[in-house]
Amino acid sequence: MSANALPRSLARADLMRIYAAAVAAVEPRRAMSRALNGDAAGAKEVAAIIERANGVRLLAVGKAAIGMAAATEEQLGDRLIEGLAIAPANLASGADAAALRSRVISAAHPLPDETSLAAARAALEMAARAQPGELVMVALSGGASALLAMPAGLVTLANKIAITAALMRAGATIRELNVVRKHLSAIKGGRLLAATAPGVGVLTAILSDVPGNDLATIGSGPTIADPSTYSDAIGVLKRRRAWGRAPETVRDHLERGAAGEFGETVKAGDPALARITNLIVGDNRMAVDGAAEAASALGYQVVRGAELGGEANDVGRTVARQASEISAARMCLVGGGEPVVTVTGSGRGGRAQQCSLAMAIELASVAAGRKILAMFAGTDGIDGPTDAAGAIATPETVARAAEAGVDARAALARNDAYEFFKGLGDLVIIGPTGTNVADIMVALVNY
Average pLDDT over the chain, rounded to whole? 95
- Alpha-carbon distance of 228 to 314, in angstroms, equals 28
Residue 3 has pLDDT above 80, yes or no: no
Name the CATH superfamily housing domain 28-150+185-228+265-282.
Glycerate kinase, MOFRL-like N-terminal domain (3.40.50.10180)
Q: Which helix (H) or strand (E) holds 203?
A: strand 201-207
Residue 260 has pLDDT above 70, yes or no: yes
Residue 133 has pLDDT above 50, yes or no: yes
Cα separation values, 334 from 70, 144, 186, 294, Å: 31, 27, 39, 11
What percent of the chain shows pLDDT beyond 70? 98
Beta-carbon contacts of 132 under 8 Å, excluding residues fewer than 6 positions away, are 197, 198, 199, 200
Give residue 221's region: left, alpha or beta (phi > 0; psi -120 to 50).
left
Residue 1 has pLDDT above 60, yes or no: no
Task: Categorize the per-residue pLDDT at 41 as very low, low, confident or very high, splitting at 50, 70 and 90.
Answer: low
Beta-carbon contacts of 138 under 8 Å, excluding residues fewer than 6 positions away, are 59, 60, 61, 192, 202, 203, 204, 205, 222, 223
Task: Categorize the per-residue pLDDT at 40 as very low, low, confident or very high, splitting at 50, 70 and 90.
Answer: low
Task: Categorize the per-residue pLDDT at 226 as very low, low, confident or very high, splitting at 50, 70 and 90.
Answer: very high
Q: Which CATH number fits domain 8-22+285-445: 3.40.1480.10, 3.30.70.270, 3.40.50.300, 3.40.50.450?
A: 3.40.1480.10
Task: Categorize the per-residue pLDDT at 8 as very low, low, confident or very high, splitting at 50, 70 and 90.
Answer: confident
Q: What is the mean pLDDT of residues 232-245?
A: 97
CATH 3.40.50.10180 residue ranges for the chain:
28-150+185-228+265-282
Q: Which helix (H) or strand (E) holds 29?
A: helix 28-36
What are the backbone angles phi and psi of residue 62, rounded to the nearest 5°?
Answer: 130, -175
The pTM score is 0.92
What percent of the chain shows pLDDT beyond 90? 93
What are the backbone angles phi and psi of residue 282, rounded to the nearest 5°?
Answer: -170, 155
CATH 3.40.1480.10 residue ranges for the chain:
8-22+285-445
**Total length of the chain:** 447
What are the backbone angles phi and psi of residue 245, rounded to the nearest 5°?
Answer: -100, 0
- Alpha-carbon distance of 162 to 36, in angstroms, equals 39
Residue 420 has pLDDT above 50, yes or no: yes
